[in-house]
Amino acid sequence: MATFWPDDYQKITETCPYNPTHKVTPAKFAMHLVSCEKKSKKILVKCPYNFYHRIDPALLDAHLAECASFKKDGWKS
Ligand SMILES: [Zn+2]
Ligand SMILES: [Zn+2]
């Protein structure tokens, strides 16, 4: 699950974790997440490693293991 933004990230879109039909530019992703979080009935857990990660509780363990390995290599800021 690569979530690094490439240099041309303005051209790409992130998929909303609350609704996969939402495609959002990275610049708007944080705001979109917050508003979708309020509107959605879906309960997702915030990743402790990355603000932009919202994880299905059933998949949390697997995600954390994967995300921790990214964390070790260092997130790009
Ligand atoms: Zn959304
Ligand atoms: Zn994560």
Q: For the chain, what are the domain ranges?
A: 13-73
Q: Which amino acid is at 37?
A: E
In 1-77, where do the E strands start and end?
14-15, 23-24, 45-46, 54-55
Ligand sitting nearest the alpha carbon of 68: 2
Cα 11 to ligand 2 centroid, rounded to whole Å: 23
The pTM score is 0.68
pLDDT in tens, 8-44: 555 688 899 999 999 998 889 999 999 999 999 999 9
| Sign of the torsion angle spanned by Cα atoms 24, 56, 70, 66 | negative
Does residue 40 contact residue 19 with C-beta atoms inside 8 Å? Answer: yes
* Interstrand relation of 14-15 and 23-24 (parallel, antiparallel or unpaired): antiparallel
pLDDT in tens, 39-72: 999 999 999 988 889 999 999 999 999 998 776 6
Does residue 48 contact residue 34 with C-beta atoms inside 8 Å? Answer: no
Ligand sitting nearest the alpha carbon of 17: 1
Structure-block tokens of residue 13: 């879109």
